[in-house]
């Protein structure tokens, strides 16, 4: 999937190490397995998209990317994209759920990964 996030409203959280179970899961689900080469962490981020042009109201979603320990990631190939949330607070709450799953090496708890 070629995908470019809205970096104008892109807020990443601290990196979370990828556990061995999650690495195996990611290798099975990612279409391009080379995206995991040298990636040791998950980058979890919020992305805001304006609901309509110039209205200044946003909907929010959560993105998860494989990342290198320095924070570098391929923005065109997210591992996971959530549905939109009506508020930033709802999306932020979901990032905490994903963070907990990632910390426990249990990303299979989150819904289907992006393809």
pTM assigned to the model: 0.85
The predicted structure's pLDDT at residue 2: 61
The predicted structure's pLDDT at residue 114: 44
The predicted structure's pLDDT at residue 33: 64
Whole-number Å distance between alpha carbons of 111 and 53: 30
- pLDDT tens across the length of the chain (115 residues): 467 777 778 999 999 999 999 988 888 777 666 667 788 999 999 999 988 887 778 899 999 999 999 999 988 888 899 999 999 999 999 999 999 999 999 988 776 544 3
Q: 3-state class of 86 per DSSP? A: coil
Exposed/middle/buried for 36, CB within 10 Å: 0-12, 13-18, 19+? middle
């Amino acid at each position: 999937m070629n995908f470019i996030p809205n970096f104008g409203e892109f807020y990443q959280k601290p990196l979370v190490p990828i556990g061995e179970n999650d690495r195996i899961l990611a290798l099975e689900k990612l279409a391009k397995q080379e995206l995991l080469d040298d990636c040791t962490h998950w980058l979890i981020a919020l992305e805001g998209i304006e609901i309509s042009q110039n209205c200044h109201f946003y909907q929010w979603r959560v993105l998860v990317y494989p990342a290198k320990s320095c924070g570098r990631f391929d923005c065109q190939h997210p591992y996971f994209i959530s549905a939109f949330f009506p508020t930033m607070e709802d999306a932020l709450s979901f990032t905490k759920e994903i963070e907990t799953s990632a910390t426990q090496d249990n990303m299979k708890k989150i819904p289907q990964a992006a393809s």
